[in-house]
Chain A
């Protein structure tokens, strides 16, 4: 069974750094792109970017380029989303998801809620 399991909720202060994770299982992790999607409170979905675990090739949406960093650790089948200096506007639910066909997502993690507040 394909599963993406994300790390738990985080509460951080503005200016702090954060790295959340997404562990894949039940399939060949290195063969499928992993994407990240943001959902701000009460709002819709935003496509952040995507990373290929096979060679760490990463493509960011222009809206998120320079704001976050995506990475993977192939040895533990885990993808990461990282911030170096959080802002209150980063408060959101973040989902990882596996790429399907064109650039759709067929399997999703359960989401990681990030709250940034002073």
Chain B
């Protein structure tokens, strides 16, 4: 099975900050990676798919990059509504797709 790790596990940031979250796969997954945002008590929301494609309706301050085993999610200017937990998900190893453990972004 592919193992996914994320760093940091949590980050404290202020409104307006640039925030970068890293996701690493234990083996190459080409570009089959997505990012989700989850707020407490809510279902996850798809932000980015295929490493860098912005899902419809998602603000352009969110961006993704990477390839093979190393990927990043960047929030260019953190907004109050962005405080949440972020998960990466690989879509390479059918049917055992794996989510990362999550990165919590909270208010500094």
Residues of A within 8 A of B (CB): 37, 44-47, 49-50, 59-63, 95, 97, 100-106, 108-111
Q: Which residue of chain A has its CB nearest to the CB of B99?
A: A45
Knowing that A105-B46, A109-B43 touch, tell me 13 more A-B residue pairs with CB under 8 angstroms. A44-B87, A44-B100, A45-B89, A45-B102, A47-B97, A49-B95, A50-B95, A60-B95, A62-B95, A95-B44, A101-B49, A103-B91, A108-B45
Give Cα distance in the complex from A105 to B50, angstroms.
12
Interface residues on chain B, number (Cβ under 8 Å): 24
Partner of A104 from the list B34, B43, B102 (CB cut-off 8 Å) is B34
Set of chain B residues within 8 Å of A110, measured between Cβ atoms: 43
Partner of B91 from the list A45, A63, A102 (CB cut-off 8 Å) is A102
B20 at interface (Cβ–Cβ under 8 A)? no
Residues of B within 8 A of A (CB): 1, 32, 34, 36, 38, 43-46, 49-50, 55, 87, 89, 91, 94-102
Q: What 10 A-B pairs come out closest when comparing CB atoms?
A: A108-B43, A59-B95, A102-B91, A45-B99, A103-B91, A47-B97, A104-B34, A61-B96, A44-B102, A104-B49
22 A-B pairs with CB atoms under 8 Å apart are A44-B87, A44-B99, A44-B100, A45-B36, A45-B99, A62-B96, A63-B96, A97-B43, A100-B46, A100-B49, A101-B49, A102-B50, A103-B94, A103-B97, A104-B34, A104-B46, A104-B91, A105-B44, A106-B55, A108-B43, A108-B44, A110-B43
